[in-house]
Amino acid sequence: MKKILILFTVISVLSAGCSQQEDNNYSVWIDASTSTQASIDSALDRLTNSNVEFIVDENGDILLNAKEMEKAVMCCS
């Protein structure tokens, strides 16, 4: 019985450590309050052309998913 309990514990720990969770951590890429409309439009075009996932929030800020940050830096900096 102890062996089964130990085996179950080890399998549970391993499966929890290997599970992939969705990363929904967004960061501001362009702050609309400090940027011109031209720079915002340019950033939107470059991100769209590079297939970078982004969100424009209610304030007009451009938010990037954390997993897309490197891709955005490569295409849009």
CA distance linking residue 34 with residue 4, whole number of Å:
60
CA distance linking residue 53 with residue 72, whole number of Å:
9
The distance from CA 43 to its chain's CA centroid, rounded to whole angstroms, is 17
**Mean pLDDT, each 10-residue run in order, the chain (77 residues):** 65 59 78 91 92 92 90 83
pLDDT of residue 60: 92
pLDDT of residue 62: 94
Four-CA torsion 67, 68, 73, 74, nearest 10 degrees:
110
CA distance linking residue 27 with residue 21, whole number of Å:
18
